[in-house]
Structure 1
Amino acid sequence: MKTFLAAALAAVLLAAPAPAHAEAPADTGRLMFWVGEEMHGSSGLAGYGLPKPEDYWDLPRDQSVYTPELWDVLERNHTPLGFNLRYRRDFGPIPAGRPQRDEVLPFMREAARRHIPVKALIQIPYSDGYWSNEDNSAIVAEAVDEFDRWAHDHELRFTDVSLDLESSIQDTDAIFRIGTDPANALGTLARNAGPRHQCAAAEEYRQIVRDLRGRGYDVTASVYPYTIDDALDGMAAFSDFFDMPLIGQDEYDGLLFMTMRTVYIQANGADPGPSLQLDYGNDIRALYGDEGGITLGEAGVGPYKDVDVMATDVRAAVSAVDGPVGLYSLEKSVKAYGVAGVERLIRAGERPLSAAERTALGRPSAELLLARAQLRAIDAAAVVATPPAAAANGDGPALPNAFWGPCPR
């Protein structure tokens, strides 16, 4: 299979063109921060290796940045937050022998006291994939049910519920090799290929969304920017290789595309620059309108060690899309820039680029053109490789699904 994938990839690379429900306050800020994922003894998840399964429970959250000064800034600016809530750690049945932690409720009560809007980002144990994908919809459905019960029991109010539609955490190593070793990365991800399975999972997630809406929640999702390549060519093969069950239109109340500059650098070895946000933003706006948003990151890493660079990208992002703009993460931002730097980023979110600035920054860099050309080539290889890969996985042979649906009956 890897030989076939390498040949398919080589063919398309040669053919690729050269790079040429609580209501938020009315005055809620445009920039939202993701919070609650930073753990003591961990560097985070993106590109730092596979965590041990027990770390999901055993590592305490690092909440040291939440000083009165920071809370005052968040309150003064009505800055929305997205809290990383962990099923079977923060809510739901906690396994025997695992610690009972009191981290979330004090945070939520302080946010409520200060009228700071919070969305719930639901995650599941590392051993089950952590992020929501084609293979773990059953446990995600359990998590949603337990979350709603827990939120009602503790009288917690969230602006919406967010799902992280990503590959399993176990596949992240392959994802971070996709720019430097695409044939082997694609060969690893081909084990996920299965258009019928993808369609079944997409329907299971539609039911989860219907269930949440029936309970009074809006539902948003975070997705890889690679999804854009599927949207543009109309085939869901790339998403299927990533185990992402996103098929069809109007599936969610909003989508945040993770155009995270530092992740691109880790995956491709080159910095695409601020044009990353504007270039993807053009596609996001055209395809998804005001439902399409962006998540930036990671604060304090690579070029984002400089708060000026991060502030420029925040301004680029709010100029690029009509939907929400998230930043990963608040804890990293405070540690990198201080509380004053965080408030500066919030202000940047209120200042879209001028027309002249947009023209100057929006010209795609050579690094971005190359990265996007490579991704289109890998996407095309996934389309070609889907029938044999699906057959090898017991789900075919089958052609890729149409990205915009509907799934075949």
Structure 2
Amino acid sequence: MPDLPAGPPAAALTQVFRRGSYPEYLRLTAILRKETVGGALLLAATVLALVCANSPASEVYFSLRDFAVGFEPWHLKLSLGTWAADGLLAIFFFLAGLELKREFVAGDLRMFNRAIVPVAAAVGGVIVPAAIYTVINLGSGSEALRGWAVPTATDIAFAVAVLAVIGSHLPSALRIFLLTLAVVDDLLAIAIIAVFYSSDIQVTPLLLALIPLALYAFLAQRCAHFFGTHPAAAWIVLLPIGVVVWALVHTSGIHATVAGVLLGFAIPVLRSKKGGGPNAGPGLAEIFEHRFRPISAGIAVPIFAFFSAGVAIGGSAGFISALRDPISIGIIVALVVGKPVGILLATWIVTTSTKARLDPDLSWIDVLGVAMLAGVGFTVSLLISELGFGHGTPLDDHAKVAILSGSLLAALLATVVLRIRNRHYRRVEEKERIDADDNGIPDVYDV
């Protein structure tokens, strides 16, 4: 892709994909390392699910997935697969809520000139894939059109894991952009689920949920320092209240993962004056983020993948038949083509309509590689597929085959591009690590 045309003088321009602050770099790279491990576990759980679903153990696997446990009141007698989707994924979305709030309150995204590009890119990465899927399935009936949002999500764990393997020398700005893009993408997915995939909403339990949610927020704000220094207290006090909020939201007909986001938003990011002020140490949101990320990446998401990714393909004939479905074609094209086109188009519009230009250390081919990697959609795509087509239905099975195939293809194509760029950046990596004044911060961040 050609460089941007000449514009205003460099001093008047805002650099796109420039390095963030050094503390933000350290925090986000720590997240990337944890998500890389989560991506490996997610891949292992997916492979295990596919093996179980297409082996002599398939009957045991599907019986386990459909085994119902729980209580009839509040509609909480659910299959294990549903518990994983509605319950365990609430932990994943709780973490997403924490990340979103922290990024927009205390992270680099609190500054408009840094937030506009990843936000616009995420929006473009939702609109274009949804449009492509819809066009391909216009003649397939209303049931097929319910899957319009399936290819709009980016799986942060898988994408980051791929980037860690193939892009060890890529600039940190690209990695942070991918992470930020995926976080904003999660927010858009949450809004889509809440608005378009919630049905038969019951107003009474929804209003009742506001009571424990308000109590939860009050305690989190007033006792943030106490909960941060006494982990057991948070489990004993906040967790039961959070479970009540989750149960009431689930009963209301709104997907229960939305409750996880609301609970995440209720956690304070900055420390209060009573707790020592914002510079006295990490706030409760950051503390919870460290505590819950291993649970989300290591337990909740892999278990969800194990119960959701198991599709009985039926041999090569069944696989080919699934890929011929317009639903599958729409998802694959939207993930592999729609995602990078949407992200690149939105980024280009922002950089040509504002006083912005690409960081001189980067090239548009780098942005293309990351945009292609954003086509790796898995966790949230599987969830939306189940919500749109119905858990375990033929349409859902075809959609899952397409999600797996499209994500794999997107990852392979991104690998080709980013491996080439990785070799280029390997030659300049040592220069960026110079710390001439020995202050513990690389000189490139001092500048």
TM range (shorter): under 0.3
Q: Identify which of structures 1 and 2 has the higher relative contact order when contacts are C-alpha pairs closer than 8 Å and 6+ apart.
A: 2
Normalized per residue, the structure richer in helix is: 2
Normalized per residue, the structure richer in strand is: 1
Normalization by structure 2: what TM-score? 0.22
Normalization by structure 1: what TM-score? 0.24
Please identify the structure whose Cα radius of gyration is greater.
2
